[in-house]
Amino acid sequence: MSSTSVDYLRDELLTQETIDLISSLPKVKGWLVSEVCQFQGYWYTQAILQGLLLCQKRFEAKDSDIILVTNPKSGTTWLKALVFALLNRHKFPVPSSGNHPLLVTNPHLLVPFLEGVYYESPDFDFLGLPTPRLMNTHIPYPSLPESVKSSSCKIVYCCRNPKDMFVSLWHFGKKLAPKETADYPIEKAVEAFCEGKFIGGPFWDHILEYWYASRENPDKVMFVTYEDLKKQTGVEIKRIAEFLGCGFIEEGQVEEIVKLCSFESLSNLEVNREGKLPNGIETKSFFRKGEIGGWRDTLSESLAAEIDRTIEDKFQDSGLKFSS
Ligand code: PAP
9, part of any domain: no
CB 25 within 8 A of CB 37: yes
Q: Convert the pLDDT of each residue in 195-223 to its tens digit.
A: 999 999 999 999 999 999 999 999 999 99
- The residues, ordered by sequence, that sit 6+ positions from 150 with a Cβ below 8 Å of its Cβ are 61
Q: Which atom of ligand 1 is nearest to the CA of 261?
A: 27
6, part of any domain: no
**Number of domains making up the chain:** 1
Tell whether pTM > 0.85. yes
- Here the CATH number for the domain that contains residue 265 is 3.40.50.300
CB 111 within 8 A of CB 286: no
44, part of any domain: yes
pLDDT at residue 178 in the model? 59
Per-residue pLDDT of the chain (324 residues; tens, 9 = 90+): 333 345 455 677 899 999 999 999 999 987 888 889 999 999 999 999 999 999 999 999 999 999 999 999 999 999 999 999 999 999 999 887 778 999 999 999 999 999 999 999 999 999 999 999 999 999 999 999 999 999 999 999 999 999 999 999 999 988 877 566 667 899 999 999 999 999 999 999 999 999 999 999 999 999 999 999 999 999 999 999 999 999 888 889 999 999 999 999 999 999 999 999 988 899 999 999 999 999 999 999 999 999 999 999 999 999 999 987
Whole domain around residue 150: which residue ranges?
16-315
Q: Which atom of ligand 1 is nearest to the CA of 164?
A: 17
Name residues contacting ligand 1 (CB within 6 A): 70, 72-78, 164, 168, 171, 261-263, 266, 286-290, 294
Q: How distant is the alpha carbon of residue 47 from its chain centre?
A: 16
3, part of any domain: no
CB 111 within 8 A of CB 84: yes
CB 135 within 8 A of CB 67: yes
| Cα 214 to Cα 104: distance, rounded to the nearest angstrom | 34
73, part of any domain: yes
Residue nearest to atom 30 of ligand 1 (CA): 290
- Residues with a catalytic annotation lie at 138
pLDDT at residue 31 in the model? 85
Choose which residue among 9, 78, 279 to substitute to test ligand 1 binding: the one with the highest number of ligand atoms within 8 A of its C-beta: 78
pLDDT at residue 2 in the model? 34
Rounded to the nearest angstrom, the distance between the alpha carbon of 290 and the centre of ligand 1 is 6
Rounded to the nearest angstrom, the distance between the alpha carbon of 265 and the centre of ligand 1 is 13
| Cα 316 to Cα 164: distance, rounded to the nearest angstrom | 19
Rounded to the nearest angstrom, the distance between the alpha carbon of 283 and the centre of ligand 1 is 11
Rounded to the nearest angstrom, the distance between the alpha carbon of 141 and the centre of ligand 1 is 22
Residue nearest to atom 4 of ligand 1 (CA): 76
Choose which residue among 70, 79, 168 to substitute to test ligand 1 binding: the one with the highest number of ligand atoms within 8 A of its C-beta: 168
124, part of any domain: yes
